[in-house]
């Protein structure tokens, strides 16, 4: 039995279909390759493992998935333990602005307690980081979340960040209320993808206010949003953190109680390693210094 084919089947079963599996694989592979290799696995076993449309595991598929799932889901944790015995490595995922503006004291403390530690830093969105954690591609993520614990992941609440809009410094708009009073907002809304919590909370607030914002530019990071606003491409959606707009040509318009803040958490799999515990302790210390009203829980 080909172990690689089993791995592909595991991802297909876990994500509910071949196309979804391809989108969430920890490495690049094309959909036809997955289809053909899973078919070879079925031929080797002499059993159909799932129905394609709509997707449904067969009895044999459920039995095989239950058998291989603990192995593939435990690979990340095992790799982490083995790495720490040789050359300690901590792989951290977070938004770009977190990696850029908030990580320096955390790294300093980590090196003080774990001299030989190596760091791998990776930026991404919430769904990506949850997948990376499940697949063992990262050890710790600092990210917004929706308040629902992801399956198999542990978490620690860090801080709640209010939403804000960014306008160019040259703009005549001084508050968000001026936008809501317009008959039609003609500027483009520069935002993260719609599945990101910042964007979802913002649209919930717009719905409360019965405000429509038709023009959209989707950006891949808050840093890019800030730069686009500075270049007069539109009005940006962000979290209200001073470091985001420091030394830029933008102005912050805080959003009021109609817009739910975004909660930032740390997430990891299994028991927290000593390095993860060090990072969590230092991140909580930083949160306490910057936002004394919040406590890590």
pLDDT tens string 111-151: 888 878 888 999 988 888 988 888 888 999 999 988 776 77
Question: Domain-by-domain residue ranges, the chain?
Answer: 3-75, 87-152+268-290, 163-254
Distances from the Cα of 13 to the Cα of 4, 61, 130, angstroms: 14, 8, 17
- pLDDT recorded at residue 91: 92
Q: What was the pLDDT predicted at 23?
A: 80
- CATH class assigned to 163-254: alpha beta
Is residue 218 within 8 A of residue 192, CB to CB? The reply is yes
Residue numbers in the chain where pLDDT is lower than 50: none
CATH superfamily of the domain spanning 87-152+268-290: Periplasmic binding protein-like II (3.40.190.10)
- The pLDDT value given to residue 247: 59
- Tell me if domain 3-75 and domain 163-254 are identical in fold: no
pLDDT, residue 49, reads: 92
CATH number of the domain located at residue range(s) 3-75 in this protein: 1.10.10.10
Q: Which residues pair with 234 in a beta bridge?
A: none
User: Residue 146 in contact with residue 267, Cβ under 8 Å?
Assistant: no
CA angle 237, 125, 280 (to 5 degrees): 105
Q: Please, what's the b/e burial string for 103-112 (b: 16 or more CB within 10 A of its CB; e: otherwise)?
A: beebbebbee
pTM of the model: 0.70
Separation in Å, CA 179 to CA 213, 222, 255, 263 = 10, 21, 11, 25
- pLDDT at residue number 295: 72
Measured at the CA of 150, the angle between CA 264 and CA 55, to 5 degrees, comes to 135
pLDDT of the residue at 76: 73
Element (H, E) at 222: helix 222-230
Q: How many Å apart are CA 278 and CA 287, to the nearest integer? A: 14
Q: What is the model's pLDDT at position 52?
A: 84
Structure tokens at 280: 């969590």
């Amino acid at each position: 039995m080909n172990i690689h084919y089993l791995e592909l089947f595991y991802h297909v079963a876990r994500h509910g279909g071949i196309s979804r599996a391809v989108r969430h694989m920890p490495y690049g592979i094309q959909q036809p390759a997955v289809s053909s290799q899973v078919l070879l696995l079925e031929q080797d076993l002499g059993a159909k493992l799932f129905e394609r449309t709509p997707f449904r595991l067969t009895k044999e598929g459920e039995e095989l998935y239950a058998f291989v799932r603990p192995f593939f889901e435990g690979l990340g944790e095992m790799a982490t333990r083995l790495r720490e015995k040789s050359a300690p490595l901590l792989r951290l995922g977070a938004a770009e602005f977190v990696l850029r503006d908030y990580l320096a004291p955390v790294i300093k403390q980590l090196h003080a307690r774990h001299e030989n530690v190596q760091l791998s830093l990776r930026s991404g969105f919430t769904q990506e980081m949850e997948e990376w954690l499940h697949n063992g591609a990262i050890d710790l993520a600092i990210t917004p979340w929706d308040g629902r614990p992801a399956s198999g992941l542990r978490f620690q609440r860090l801080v709640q960040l209010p939403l804000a809009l960014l306008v160019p410094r040259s703009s005549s708009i001084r508050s968000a209320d001026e936008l809501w009073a317009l008959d039609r907002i003609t500027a483009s809304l520069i935002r993260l993808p719609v599945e990101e919590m910042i964007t979802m909370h913002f649209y919930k607030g717009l719905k409360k206010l019965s405000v429509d914002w038709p023009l959209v530019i989707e950006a891949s990071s808050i840093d890019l949003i800030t730069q686009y606003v500075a270049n007069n491409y539109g009005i940006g959606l962000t979290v209200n953190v001073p470091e985001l707009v420091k030394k830029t040509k933008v102005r912050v318009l805080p959003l009021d109680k109609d817009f739910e803040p975004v909660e930032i958490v740390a997430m990891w799999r299994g028991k927290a390693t000593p390095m993860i515990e060090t990072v969590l302790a230092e991140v909580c210390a930083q949160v306490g210094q910057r936002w004394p009203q919040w406590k890590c829980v």
